[in-house]
Chains A and B, each alone.
Chain A
Amino acid sequence: MLLIPCPWCGPRAQSEFTYGGDATVVRPPADASEAAWVAFVYLRDNPAGPHDELWQHSAGCRRWFRVRRDTRTHTILANARPGAPLPGDEA
Chain B
Amino acid sequence: MTQAFRLAAGGAIDRSHRLAFEFDGLRYEGCLGDTLASALLANGVHLVARSFKYHRPRGIFAAGSEEPNALVQLARGHRTEPNVPATMVELFDGLVAASQNRWPSLDVDVGALAGTLSRFLPAGFYYKTFMWPATAKAWLGYERFIRAAAGMGRAAIEPDPDRYEHQYAHCDVLIVGGGPAGLAAARAAASSGVRLIVCDEGPHFGGSLVGESASIDGVDASAWIDGTVAALAANPDVTLLPRTTAFGCYDGNMVGLLERATDHMSAPPAFAPRRRLWKIRARAIVLATGAHERAIAYANNDLPGTMLAGAARTYVRRYAVQPGTRAVVFTTNDSAYATALALQDAGVAVAGIVDARAEAEIAGSLPRRARAAGLPIDADSVVVGARGGKRVASVDVRSASRTRRLDCDLVCVSGGWSPVLNLFSQARGTLRYDEALAAFLPESSSSVLPAGAANGRFGLAAALSDGHSAGLRAATGGAASRLSAPQTEREASGAPRTLWSVTSKRGAKRFVDLQDDVTADDIALAAREGYTSVEHLKRYTTLGMGPDQGKTGNLIGLALLAEATGRTIPQVGTTTFRPPYTPVTMGAFPGQESGAHVEPTRYSAMHDWHVEHGAGFVNAGLWRRPHSYPRAGESPEDAANREAKNVRANVGVVDVSTLGKIELQGRDVAEFLNRIYANRWDTLAVGRCRYGLMLREDGIVLDDGTTSQLASTHYLMTTTTVNAVKVMQHLERALQLDWPELEVYVTSVTEQWAAAALSGPKARDVLQRLVDIDVSNAAFPFLAVGECRVRAPDGTIPARLLRMSYSGELAYEIHVPADAGRAMWEAVIAAGEPFGLMPYGTEAMTTLRIEKGHIVVGAEADGRTTADDLGLGNLVNAAKWCIGKPLLERPALKAADRWQLVGLTALDGAPMPRAAKIVVDPDRAAPNPMLGHVTSWCWSPNLDAWIALALLARGRERHGQVLWAVSPLADAKVRVKIGPACFIDPQGERLRV
Contact = CB atoms under 8 A, between A and B. Distances in A.
Interface of A: 1-3, 13-14, 18, 20, 27-28, 30, 32, 34, 37-38, 40-42, 54, 56, 58, 62-64, 73-74, 82-83
Interface stretch (B289-297, B383-391, B600-608, B735-743): B735-743
B698 interface: yes
Contacts of B253: 3
B252 A2 contact: yes
Contact of B252 (A3, A18, A58): A3
Contacts of A63: 736
Contact of B890 (A18, A34, A83): A34
Interface in B249-285: 250-254, 279, 281
Interface stretch (B133-141, B626-634, B881-889): B881-889
A83 B740 contact: yes
Interface of B: 250-254, 279, 281, 428, 697-698, 729, 732-733, 736-738, 740, 881, 886-887, 889-890
A45 B737 CA distance: 20
A82 B428 CA distance: 32
5 contacts: A3-B251, A20-B733, A34-B890, A37-B886, A56-B733
A54 B138 CA distance: 51
A58 B889 contact: no
Contacts of A32: 886
A41 B893 CA distance: 15
Given A1-B250, A27-B697, 20 more contacts: A1-B279, A2-B251, A3-B252, A3-B254, A13-B281, A20-B733, A28-B886, A30-B886, A34-B889, A37-B886, A40-B697, A54-B737, A56-B729, A64-B732, A73-B428, A74-B251, A74-B252, A82-B737, A82-B740, A83-B740
B554 to A, nearest CB: 26
B160 to A, nearest CB: 24
Given A37-B886, A41-B697, A74-B251, A3 B281 contact: yes
Nearest to B735: A64
A1 B738 CA distance: 29
A20 B428 CA distance: 27
A34 B886 contact: yes
B891 to A, nearest CB: 10
A84 to B, nearest CB: 12
B18 to A, nearest CB: 46
B738 A27 contact: yes
B145 to A, nearest CB: 43
Contacts of B881: 30
A3 B428 CA distance: 16
Contacts of A42: 698
A82 B729 CA distance: 16
Nearest to A73: B428
Contacts of B736: 63-64, 82
A34 B890 CA distance: 8
Contacts of B886: 28, 30, 32, 34, 37
B947 to A, nearest CB: 37
Given A2-B251, A3-B281, A82-B740, A41 B698 contact: yes
Nearest to B279: A1
Contact of A1 (B254, B729, B889): B254
A90 to B, nearest CB: 18
A38 to B, nearest CB: 7
A20 B733 CA distance: 9
Given A2-B251, A3-B281, A27-B738, A64 B733 contact: yes
A45 B352 CA distance: 67
Contacts of A58: 729
Contact of B887 (A18, A38, A62): A38
Pick the 3 closest A-B CB pairs, nearest first. Answer: A3-B252, A30-B881, A64-B736
A57 B250 CA distance: 21
Nearest to A3: B252
Contacts of B738: 27
A62 B250 CA distance: 25
Nearest to A42: B698
Contacts of A82: 736-737, 740
A25 to B, nearest CB: 10
A43 to B, nearest CB: 12
A10 B733 CA distance: 20
A64 B731 CA distance: 11
- The listed residue with most B CB atoms (<10 A of its CB), out of A1, A34, A38, A40, is A1
Most A CB contacts (10 A, CB to CB) among B251, B254, B697, B738 go to: B251
Of the candidates A37, A42, A56, A74, the one having the most CB atoms from chain B within 10 angstroms of its own CB is A37
Nearest to B882: A30
Contacts of A38: 887
Contacts of A56: 729, 732-733
Contacts of B889: 34
A82 to B, nearest CB: 5
Among B253, B254, B737, B738, chain A packs the most CB atoms within 10 A around the CB of: B737
B740 A41 contact: no
Contacts of B740: 82-83
B277 to A, nearest CB: 13
A59 to B, nearest CB: 11
A34 B736 CA distance: 26
B969 to A, nearest CB: 34
Contacts of B252: 1-3, 14, 74
Contacts of B251: 1-3, 14, 74
A27 B734 CA distance: 11
B169 to A, nearest CB: 12
Contacts of B729: 18, 56, 58
Given A1-B251, A54-B737, A74-B252, A37 B732 contact: no
Contacts of B428: 73
A37 to B, nearest CB: 5
Nearest to B696: A41
Contacts of A40: 697
Nearest to B891: A34
- Most chain A CB within 10 A, of B428, B697, B736, is at B736
Nearest to B254: A1
Contacts of B697: 27, 40-41
A18 B729 CA distance: 9
Contacts of B250: 1
Nearest to A54: B737
Nearest to A37: B886
A58 B730 CA distance: 12
A14 B253 CA distance: 13
Nearest to B256: A1
Contacts of A37: 886-887
Contacts of B254: 1, 3, 13
Contacts of B737: 54, 64, 82
Nearest to A20: B733
Contacts of B890: 34
A63 to B, nearest CB: 6
A20 B730 CA distance: 10
A82 B733 CA distance: 10
B140 to A, nearest CB: 39
Nearest to B881: A30
Contacts of B698: 41-42
A12 to B, nearest CB: 10
A72 B251 CA distance: 12
Contacts of A2: 251-252
A73 B252 CA distance: 10
Nearest to A4: B252
B869 to A, nearest CB: 19
Contacts of B279: 1
- Which of B252, B279, B729, B740 gathers the greatest number of chain A CB atoms within 10 Å? B252
Contacts of A30: 881, 886
A77 B789 CA distance: 56
B671 to A, nearest CB: 14
A63 B279 CA distance: 26
A82 B736 CA distance: 7
B876 to A, nearest CB: 14
